[in-house]
Every structure is written in structure tokens, then in C-alpha cells.
Amino acid sequence: MSVVVASSGRVQPTRPGDPARIGPYRIIGRLGAGGMGTVHAGLDPAGARVAVKVIHAPQAQDPEFRARFRREVQLSARVQGPCLIPLLAADTEAEAPWLATEYAPGLTLNDHLTAHGPLTGGMLYAFAAGTAQALAAVHSAGVVHRDVKPQNVILTPGGPRVLDFGIAHAVDGTSVTRTGVMTGTPGWISPEHYRTGSAGPESDMFGWGALVAYAATGRLPFGSGAPDVVAFRVLSGDPDLDGVGRELRDILERALRKDPATRITAASAADESLALLATQSTQVLGAGTSPEPTLVGELVSAEWQMPTIDDPTWHAPRSAVRRRAVTAVLVAGSLIGGLVGGALALRPGDSEGGGGAETSAPNRAGLSEGGDQDGGGSGGGGAATPAPPSDPREARIPKDPLAGVSNPAYTRATDDAQPSSAEWRASSSSSDDEEKEAAQSVLADMKTVLATKNMDFMEPTVTFNKRAQTMMVTGGPIPQIPEENLEVFRRAAEMAMCSASAHRLKDHPSTWPYGRYSVHWKWGETDPEPITLGFGQAISGCFNEVAGQWQGDDLGIATARIPSADQNEIRVADDADKAITAAWDAAVAEGNGNEPFATDNAINLGFDPVEKAAYVWASDSSGVLVGRAQRSNFQGVTSSTLCPKLLAEYKANKSWNYTRWSVAVYPAGEVEPEIISSGICTP
């Protein structure tokens, strides 16, 4: 689906009728529009920027178009690699089908050349190497792009990015296309595509050659004019390569040959362009060396000089964003952090909990999530390992497990890149006692959480990739799984792995190499590899925090709203719900500006087993909690009533782990909650 995006890279205002939310993404504006659909600017729950393409209604009602769009999503999911824009999420069956990709800030090649002129030197070689490597990744996945052109390349601060698989198809011929319709853009269509309508990887390389020539000269290699005139030049004329350096010109001439069988491949073009790029850098490839994708990225980054584009419109008004790196998903699900099992929950009062100025139950003094008061990082030498707590619920997850450690086994703390498909394929089951113990811990924690929400039919597997220093959880295949179930699975897996790794990084920093973790899902038995649901690191805390204090969020309340299968949770929720409702009614009777809700069941309570938090939310259809004073009163009534209930169960039931709480309001006409306060109940 080709779209027109504002060349400034700025977010345009939303228009009447634009959605407030698409899947898990909050829509804040528009990036552009085209004949097939609209591209919205969105934010995921972690605050990451995404581009969400939504198909126009007329196309969505066309079964043939839907089939092509569905195929686009399937093909895009297969392609991963440097200088590509990964697909994050999609819903091909929605009334208005959509897909989401990472947002690529920057100008298209067309707009950059218009504003700044041709690329030269290292920038030009980086462009050639990066785009060739992107196509090599596309082709290795068995896909043909079929629309390589300047409008489909974004020059981001991190390097060139190839996008738009709207007319991509599989090499095996399983694509869905309109019979008799020529796909592609005049001037960027290969000779064989003009002659026969066929377009294989060789056609992409013809487009690549024209693309790089255009980047080097600022001139269209086959000129402009009527489509049939341009087609004649492509079929019988020579490209305009005047001004292109000899070494690069040789590569482009082999890409632009009329006979597709004699053209250079994407992998070879990437190799040779990378060798040219290496001459601009301190790194030089050995003869015959085939570059790894990471090397492509490193060399491109070393020579790429593109200013960062910032747009204040993107900045999320809410600051509750985790420090942990989180990746996105190929499902209509959202992203971010997870669960800790019963034996690894924090004790009441730990510093990941707090509640801000309005919290009625302050933290217990002297305690912290990381346990630094116990002697700092255990790898620093000489510090004794503290004795385990008598109550396993008091086992704290280290917040900064490598503090004070000089030479940890985990060395990828600064690497925010999500694990690749190859790294997932190279992972294996536990190979030593420590890995086996960690895997068992993760599976036990996940089973506890999933069973709480009637989701223990999911059967995850845990694998390890020591070279990538990553622990991985993979689930599926389960057909037609609800979005909210998949989200709970992701959160549970992320928290279970984060907590397991954080403890081991703290206790065995010189031998435990796994600081990264990722979550994956397979849709079917025949899928060659899964999609990635989430990714993070266990070195900066496992809980959602704001200013060092635990904070409830939209993901937590979404999980809390799923009915519980745990009888203790059901009993406590019912008791606390009634008590809070009665307490608010009493506060209303006393006056002080408090008013009754419009309905008897406006107040509800549920539990998030991932972060072990009780959520109370009020459906405020009549505007009872519009003012700050009224919200503060409601929060005070709720926390002072709820905490005694939670703590009584905590003392009586050794399996009860809920001491955190969060209060939210659903204003009239809104589908998103507003978190007004969070905290931890202290005995």
C-alpha cells in the first residue's frame, strides 16, 4: 500500500472521524494518506513511535483486495534484517484492516535529493550497501519487493530504510494479484517486467541499480516523460550514469543489464558496496568475506551522517514508560513488561512500589528492590550473600544486579537490538544445571499466572542462545487465540525471564551470561519461525516505575479486567469491592463535595497477576470524579479501604502476593482509563 507522507516528517493533526486507538496503539495524528489508505502516527504502550496504515473502506470491502492485503502482512512478517522497517502488528480481519510498523523518521530519497542534492562519498556507499543488504534479506526470505523506488526509501538518522511491501509477492508464486494489471512505478520497472509482467529478485536489483544511480547523480537514470516513453528507454536505452565513480558504476552497470540472468544479486551487491564503504572506514573486509548483517549496520552507522528529526507532537503526555527495551508484535496486541511468580514477588514496602504524593501508604524506610543495602553487587568481591528470607514472598528482584561488578559475564547491556530470527533458530534447551533451574523457574512462574486467568492451556518452551546472551520463551501454535490472552502470555513471559535473570546476574555475575530475554509466538505447526512479541533486558528493573516508584498502567488494568479463575482472588475482590462502594457512599453522605455515581455498579476491582497488583476502577459516566479534589477523595477512600483487605489476606494466606494497588477512572465517553494513583500497602 503506497502512501503519501509529509516530506517534513512532522505529524499532521488528526481529522474528524480519525480513531483514537487502533489495536494497542494510541493515535496522536496523521503521517499521510494515499489512494489505498491512511497512515496514522501512533504510540505503543511503552511510548515507542509507530506508523499505522489503515485501509480505506471501499478497498476493505473488496474480497480480492483483502486477500492481497492479508498476503502483504504474511510476506512482511517473513522479512527481517538491517535497513528494513519491521512489521509490528496487524489485523487483516478487522472491519478496517490495518498494519503497524516502526516509525522511520526522515525524508524519502526523493525529498532529500530535492532539498540537499546527491549523496557522495561514504554516505553514498552506505546507502548502496544498506539498501542492497535490505533486498538480500527480502530475497533470502523468499520474497520479491517489486516496487523499489525513491519514494520507498527513508533516510533516517540511523541509516537508509526500505519500506512498503504493498505489492510484494512470494518467489514461489503464491501471491494474490489482479490479473492483467501492471504493478510497479514507471521508470523503476525492469525490462522483463515490461515484457512479460514477471518480476523476480532480478527485477528488484534492476530497481536497486536505478535507485543508487539516482542517489549518486540526482537525475532519473531513464529520464522523465510519458510512461510509454520511459518504458522504451528502459527496454532499449542505456541508463544515465555520468558522474558515478568507476567502482560503484561497475556494480550499477551489472545491476542494470537488460538480461536478468546476468544481473548482480543483492547479496553480491551488498558485499561489493560494503567493500567500497569499508574504504571510508577504519574497518576493512577480508577478500571474499561475506558480511554479517551486524557488520553492515556497523559500517553504515559509522559513515552515515543524517541529522536527528524531532517533533514535539510525538512526545507522549504520560511519562509512565519503562526503562526496559520492549519490542513489538505481529498481532493486534500491545507491549511491555510482565509477571513475577509467587516465590519472586516483592515484599510490601519495597521501593518499586511507592505511590507519589497522593499515596496513602508510604514505603517502608530503608528497603529497595535491588537490595543494595545488603552489600551491593555480589560480584564486587568480599560481600557476603544475604540469607534467603524465611517468607519466599519477600525475595526481592534486584533492580540493578550488576552494580559494582567490574567484569560481568553479560556484556551486551548497551545493545538494544532485538534478537534476530537466526538467533532464535540457534537457541536450544537448557544445557547445564543453572540453565535448567532458570527454565524451571520461568515455566513455574508463567504457569501460576496463566492459570489465574484460565490460560494454562498455553504451553511455553524456554530456550537459550549463549552467543546472543538471550533467554527465550516461545508459545503456540494455538489458532484463533484472543488478543488479550496473547498479551498476558507476553507479559508473564517477560517478567518471569526478567526476574530469573536478574537474580542470577546478582548472585553469579561472573558466570551468568543471560541479561537479555525475548518472547516469541508460532501461529502454526508449519511456520518456519515465530514472530517476536517482546524483548527486554534484566539490568534496569523488571517493574513499571515512574521516578523510582511502582506505577499501575493500561496494561495492568487490561489484565485485571480479565475474569479470574482463582477462588481467593474472587472472594477478596468481591469483599473489597463491596467495602469500597460502601465507604464511598458513606463519604458522599458526609458531603465535602463528594457525589454518588450514576450507577450502582460503577466501582469494580480486579487483579493483575503479572505485577501482583489490585486495580480499582470507576466508570464515571456522570462526571463525579472530574475535579482533582474529588479524585483525591476517591483515591483516599479506596486505598484506606482496600489495603486492610489485602494485608489481612497476606497474613492469613501464604500464597497471597497482592500488596500493590492502583486506582483508575474511566471518564464519560472514554475507552482508556486514567490512572490517578498507585501504591503499596504496608503492614
**Nearest Cα to 676, choosing from 639, 632, 643?**
632
Residue 442, C-alpha cell as written in the block: 520461568
Q: Are strands 153-156 and 159-162 parallel, antiparallel or unpaired?
A: antiparallel
Gyration radius (Cα) of the chain, Å:
28
Residue 35, C-alpha cell as written in the block: 489512494
Q: Are strands 516-521 and 470-475 parallel, antiparallel or unpaired?
A: parallel
CA distance 499 to 504: 9
CA distance 532 to 418: 9
**Nearest Cα to 351, choosing from 78, 56, 582, 550?**
550
Q: CB within 8 A of 92, min separation 6: which ones?
A: 66, 69, 70, 73, 99
CA distance 490 to 481: 13
Structural contact between residues 207 and 186, judged by C-beta atoms closer than 8 angstroms: no
Structural contact between residues 522 and 579, judged by C-beta atoms closer than 8 angstroms: no
DSSP reduced 3-state for 613: strand
Please tell me what DSSP assigns to residue 372: G
CA distance 200 to 208: 13
In degrees and rounded to multiples of 5, residue 434 shows phi and psi of -70, -40
**Nearest Cα to 660, choosing from 648, 646, 672, 673?**
646
Bond before 477 cis per omega within 30 degrees: yes
Beta bridge partners of 538: none
Q: Which residue has the cell 519490542?
A: 327
Residue 564, C-alpha cell as written in the block: 479470574
Q: CB within 8 A of 371, min separation 6: which ones?
A: 386, 396, 398, 506
CA distances 433 to 103, 373, 408, 412, 429, Å, are: 42, 29, 20, 23, 12
CA distance 456 to 661: 25
Please tell me what DSSP assigns to residue 213: H
CA distances 55 to 25, 97, 453, Å, are: 16, 6, 34
Q: Is there a catalytic annotation at residue 172?
A: no
Residue 266, C-alpha cell as written in the block: 543483492
In degrees and rounded to multiples of 5, residue 224 shows phi and psi of -120, 180
CA distance 532 to 421: 9
CA distance 151 to 143: 20
Structural contact between residues 124 and 225, judged by C-beta atoms closer than 8 angstroms: no
Which one of 44, 91, 111, 147 is the catalytic residue?
A: 147
Catalytic residues, by residue number, are 147
